[in-house]
Structure 1
C-alpha cells in the first residue's frame, strides 16, 4: 500500500494559526475591539508583498474609509516586525488601505512572530473567510493551502469549520475551463450551474447557452444530460458512459485532489481498467510528474 502523503506540520499548527484570523472576524461581527499591542505610525506599516489577494473593491474601500473617519479603526491589524523597523501586515490590508484614504496618522496593531510560510498561510486563510468571496476564489484558496502546505481536505475541514463535501464540491469547480470560471466569478453562473457543467466535454459552449437563456440549475442539468446522451443514434456511447455511483464519487475525489479532470474506466465484472488524467497546460503536466515521482 502506498504511503499516505504527510502534511507539513507547523510549530503552531493550522488551527492555532486560524485563531488570530477567526477571533478577528468574530470581533468585527460583534463590533467588539480586540486589545492592541501598540499604535504604529501608518508610514511604518507595509503590505505583504506575497499577499494572494490583489483586488480590492473601490466601493467597499470607500465605505470602510467613511466608517474609519467616523469611528476610527475598531479592530487592530495583525503585523510582524521587520529587521528595518517597519511592520508588515499579516491580516488587515483592507483596513490599512482605507485608513490611508481616511488620512489617519497611526494604526492600532497586534504584533505576532510569524515566519514567511506562516504569513502566507494566514493571508490565504483570511482570504477564504472574506464575505464577498466568489466560489472560484474560495476553491483556489483551498487549492493553495493543499498545494503549498500539504493540508488535506479533512484537515482543512476541521480547522476552517467547513464540511469536507463543501470543500470537495468547490474544488471541483477548478476543473472547468477558464472562461466558465470567469462567468462564475462575475456572477453570471451560480455554483449550482457550474457543478452541473463539470461533467460536460463542451462546458464552454453550454455555459454560454445557459447564460444567454437565463436557465435555471435544473434546466442546465437537463441541457448537459442531453449533450451527453443526445438520442438513440448515440446509444452505444451512452451505454459506455454509464458508471456506478462509487466510480463517479472516486472520479470526483481524485479530480478535487489533483485539481484536474480525472476519468476512471473500470471494466464491468473484472478487476482491470484505466485512469485518465486530463491536463490543460504544461505546468499541470509537470505537477502530475512531480506527484508520481514523489510517490516512489
Structure 2
C-alpha cells in the first residue's frame, strides 16, 4: 500500500532550477476538463479527467506489481487519493503525467473518472528528473531502472556524472556503481530488475571481465542461493587463477623470445651464446671465447676497435 503526503514547500532537493520551484510553479487551466479546488499550497491543485492524461514518456519505472496496484486501488476506494499526482499541460485539455503513475493506474482500477492533480510547467529534462527523484525517494525503483534513468540523463541531456549526482542527491561513486550494472549481460540485468538477485550480487559479478563466465557464475548463484559474500569469494578465486594463467603465459612468451634471440645471436657470432632474463626483462648476454683469435672474431663482429 502506498502512503502519500503533501509537501510542496520550497527548499526540496534541487533539480535544474529546483524541484521545490517546480512543485510550487502552478499552471493555470480554465478548460472544461478541470474543476478548480481550493489551493492547499503555493501551487494550485485541480481535479482532472483521467481520460485526459497520457503517461509520462520519461517514466523511469518499467515494472508495476499488479498485486500491489490492486491493493492501492482498494485503499483509494476507501480513502481516496491522499496525495495528488503531478502533470504538465501539453495542450488545452490534454495532460502529460510527470509523477504518480501508480496512483493513476490504481485510480483507473478503482473506477475513478477524475483525479486530483498539480498542474506544473516542466521541460523534458525536468520531467525525467522529477519522475526519477520521486521514485528514488520512495525506493520504488529497482537498480536497473535507476541505472537506465541515470544513463538517459547523461546521454540525452549531456550531464556530467558530478552534475547528475548533485541532481539526484547521490555521490559520483554511487552513480557510477549503478551505471556499471548496464554492462552486465541482459539475463543478469533482468534478474536484478525482477528481484531475483540484489544489486550487491550484481556488483560482485561486474568484476568478472568475461560475459560467459559471468553467466555461468550467475546460474550457480540462482541454483544454489549464493550470498553476496560467496560470490565475492568466488570472484577473487577466479581472479587469482586468471592472474596465474596470465603470468604463466607471459613467462612462456618470454622463454620463447629468449630462445629465439639466443639462436639468432649464436648464428651471428658463430659461437655459443647464453641469454638470461627475469620477468621484468632484466638479464645478461654471455658470449664465451676459447682463444684470442675467437675473441678478435667476436669483437670484429660487433665492430669494436682493438687499438
TM over 0.5, yes or no? yes
Deviation at 1:43, TM superposition (A): 2.6
Distance 2:219 2:154 in 1: 31
Q: 1:86 aligns with which of 74, 77, 94?
A: 94
1:125, 1:141 within 8 Å by CA — same for their partners in 2?
Answer: no
Q: Is the 8 A contact 2:150 2:175 kept in 1?
A: yes
Deviation at 1:203, TM superposition (A): 0.8
1:234 corresponding residue in structure 2 = 245
Contact 1:172 1:198 in 2 (8 A): yes
Name the stretch that deviates more: 105-114 or 61-70: 105-114
Q: TM-score, normalised by structure 1?
A: 0.64
Separation (CA, whole Å) in 2 of partners of 1:43 and 1:19: 28
2:180 matched to which residue of 1?
172
Distance 1:22 1:215 in 2: 44
Local SS of the residue matching 1:187: coil
Question: Which of 145, 151, 159 is the aligned partner of 2:153?
Answer: 145
SS at match of 1:203: helix
Alpha-carbon distance change, 91 to 207 in structure 1, aligned in 2, over 3 angstroms:
same
Instruction: Describe the shift of the 1:89–1:223 C-alpha distance in structure 2 as closer, same or farther (beyond 3 A).
Output: same
Contact 1:229 1:235 in 2 (8 A): no
Mean alpha-carbon deviation: is it higher for 231-240 or for 151-160? 231-240
Mark the CA change 1:22 to 1:141 in structure 2 (over 3 Å): closer, same or farther: farther
Bigger radius of gyration among the two: 2
Number of matched pairs: 220
> By how many angstroms is 1:115 displaced?
3.2
Cα separation, 2, equivalents of 1:118 and 1:15: 7
Secondary structure of the residue aligned to 1:82 is strand
Deviation at 1:72, TM superposition (A): 1.0
Q: Does 1:225 align with 2:236?
A: yes
Q: Which runs of 5+ in 2 are unaligned?
A: 1-13, 25-38, 252-279, 281-307
C-alpha contact (below 8 Å) 1:136/1:173 kept by paired residues: yes
Distance 1:114 1:81 in 2: 9
User: Is contact 1:48–1:89 with CA below 8 Å preserved after alignment?
Assistant: yes
- The two structures, once aligned, show a CA RMSD in angstroms of 3.1
CA 1:172 to 1:237, structure 2 compared with 1: closer, same or farther past 3 Å? farther
CA distance in 2, matches of 1:60, 1:148: 32
Which residue number corresponds to residue 118 of structure 1? Answer: 126
Taking structure 1 as reference, are residues 132 and 143 closer, same or farther at Cα in structure 2, changes over 3 Å only? same
CA-CA distance at 1:21 after TM superposition: 8.4
Deviates more, 1:85-94 or 1:124-133: 124-133
Q: Which residue of 1 aligns with 2:223?
A: 212
Q: Which segment drifts farther, 230-239 or 161-170?
A: 230-239
Whole-Å separation in 2 of the counterparts to 1:215 and 1:123:
34
Equivalent position of 2:114 in the other structure = 106
Shift of 1:94: 1.6
Partners of 1:127 and 1:141 within 8 A in 2: no
| 1:1-296 alignment runs, 5 A limit | 14-19=15-20, 35=41, 36-200=44-208, 201=210, 202-230=213-241, 234=245, 236=247
Q: 1:91 to 1:139 in 2, by over 3 A?
A: same
* Higher RCO, Cα 8 Å, sep 6+: 1
SS at match of 2:86: strand
The residue number in structure 2 matching 1:248 is none
Structure 1 residue 218 displacement after superposition: 2.2
1:73 Cα shift?
A: 0.9
